[in-house]
Amino acid sequence: MTLEVPEIPKTERVELPARETALLVVDMQNDFAHPEGALFVPDAPKTIPVIQGLLERFREKGAPVFFTQDWHDEDDPEFKIWPRHAVAGTWGAEIVAELAPRPGEKVVKKLRYDGFYGTPLDHLLRLAGVKNLVVVGTVANICVLHTAGSAALRWYQVVLPEDGTSALTPFDLQAALRQVTFLYQGKVTTAAGIVLL
């Protein structure tokens, strides 16, 4: 059986007002983005320089930066689905050193795939006046997709830089891009295509 991937619309340049746009870095933690991590995503390390570049640009413009951090208890039911990972307070749960949050940047600890589920993320974004959300990180079709979808359902305009997002397989990445553009009317671009005004 041959499976055709529907054409995924890509936007070359996305102009966004810095005052109303946040960068959300999803789960770039040692267990996912470091080769010694419990659930290492092989393509995650190559997104680190891309995300670093976006962080620099957002910080220079004074645009808000947020991070999600997968954060589990030792007996989390999710470990029936996935091997033990991102256990609260462990090295694996820490955000990779190259992307360490700066003082004042919000880190939202989450219990499930969706960064909004059971967290204050929506409240914090609204306090910051955010209307547009640039989402990067890992894993594309899991935590990135569920968080981006949840943002869109709350009427944030979602932008996903493809080169700042990683998945376990190329199919999984394409599936996430398809859902973001088709289901949630988000925009897929590259990090270089993000223009903060």
Tens of pLDDT, residues 16-34: 999 999 999 999 999 999 9
Mean pLDDT of all residues in 86-115: 97
Phi/psi for 154 (5° steps) reads: -100, 10
pLDDT > 80? residue 49 = yes
Catalytic residues: 27, 110, 143
Tell me the pLDDT tens digit for each residue of 161-188. 999 999 999 999 999 999 999 999 999 9
Length of the chain counted residue by residue: 197
pLDDT the model gives residue 3: 77
Residue 2's pLDDT is 86
Residue 76 to residue 9: CA distance in whole angstroms = 38
pLDDT band of residue 91 (cuts 50, 70, 90) is very high
**Cβ count within 10 A of residue 112:** 16
What integer best gives the mean pLDDT of the chain? 97
Domain boundaries, the chain: 14-196
Name the burial class of residue 32, with classes exposed (0-12), middle (13-18) and buried (19+) by CB atoms within 10 angstroms of its CB: buried
Q: Which CATH architecture has domain 14-196?
A: 3-Layer(aba) Sandwich (3.40)
Percent of the chain past pLDDT 90, that is, above it, reads 97
- Return the structure tokens found at 138: 């890992």
Give yes or no for a contact between 57 and 196, defined as CB atoms under 8 angstroms apart: yes
- Other CB atoms within a 10 A radius of the CB of residue 76 amount to 19
Sign of the Cα torsion 169, 83, 135, 186 reads: positive
Cα–Cα distances in angstroms (integers) from residue 157 to residues 29, 106, 153, 168, 175, in the given order: 25, 20, 10, 26, 19
